[in-house]
Amino acid sequence: MYNLHSHSLLSDGALLPSEVAVRYLSQGYKVIAITDHADYSNIEFVTDAILKFVKQWPANSGIKVLPGVELTHIPPEQFSPLVKFAKDKGMKIIIGHGETLAEPVVKGTNRAALEAGVDILAHPGLISKEDVELAAKKNIFLEITTRKGHKGTNPHVAEEALKAGARLVINTDSHMPEDIVKPEELISVALSAGLTSSKIDSIYSDVEKFIKEREAR
């Protein structure tokens, strides 16, 4: 089981990266990404800290941790330079904080993140048909989330992604210990969004291939 969206106290999470990893391991996960929030003010610190942690994380721990970052509430024009910065630093997972209805995200954020080439567009809210088609064209994952507040638009995201053939990923977007749910809850949320069991299996197969590609870089 995989989760590619989690936060530590390097941004607004409550746990050390090691605590995040151990708690996911205890729930049965095999691979996670730590993707703390960043903008121009802290991206160098966050990426350096996560890379240092991942480098020291033991290979025999039972869970693999990928370094990542979530570009959050930034002006749309900043996505391209910050995505490039994160890629150059060696981030394996780059997330764009999408236009969730739960927060005042700047209009045009979804499109800017997609055009900049993020790996995942998180909780993209009532994403437009045109942006879903762009995500499909660029092979960018759209997120189905268990996160309270963000998950209300999961059915819309799932429906539009299925229509356009866009890739989906199922994530927790964890910040607190209680957000680190069992894999069965991820599947339950995906089913509630209108996805079939066979489609969920296909999503996890696709994510596994993606992870292997990123690890090889």
What are the pLDDT digits (tens) for 92-106? 999 999 999 999 999
* 37-95 confidence digits (pLDDT tens): 999 999 999 999 999 999 999 999 999 999 999 999 999 999 999 999 999 999 999 99
CB 89 within 8 A of CB 47: yes
CB 138 within 8 A of CB 164: no
Percent of the chain topping pLDDT 70: 100
Q: Quick check: helix, strand or coil at residue 144? A: strand
State the amino acid at position 148 in one-letter form.
Answer: K
State the amino acid at position 109 in one-letter form.
Answer: T
pLDDT band at 167 (very low <50, low <70, confident <90, very high): very high
Residue 29 pLDDT more than 90? Answer: yes
pLDDT of residue 33: 98
Closest CA to 35 of 57, 58, 6: 6
Q: What average pLDDT score do residues 156-173 get?
A: 98
What does the block give as tokens for 217? 């870089």
**CA–CA dist 214, 217 (Å, integer):** 5
pLDDT of residue 133: 98
pLDDT of residue 35: 98
Q: Quick check: helix, strand or coil at residue 132? A: helix
Q: Which CA distances in Å does 85 have to 19, 35, 121?
A: 27, 15, 17
**CA–CA dist 153, 185 (Å, integer):** 17
CB 176 within 8 A of CB 208: no
pLDDT band at 217 (very low <50, low <70, confident <90, very high): confident
Rg of the chain (C-alpha set)? 16
Closest CA to 113 of 103, 185, 104, 123: 123
pLDDT of residue 57: 98
pLDDT of residue 44: 98
Q: Which CA distances in Å does 149 have to 47, 82, 145, 146, 158?
A: 27, 26, 10, 9, 16
pTM of this structure = 0.98
What does the block give as tokens for 112? 């800017």
CATH 3.30.70.2860 fits 2-216, yes or no: no
Positive or negative: CA dihedral 123, 12, 51, 147:
negative
Q: What average pLDDT score do residues 5-20 get?
A: 98
Where b means 16+ CB within 10 Å and e means fewer, 156-170 reads: bbbebbeebebbbbb
178 secondary structure, DSSP code: G
Place of tokens 């993020």: 118
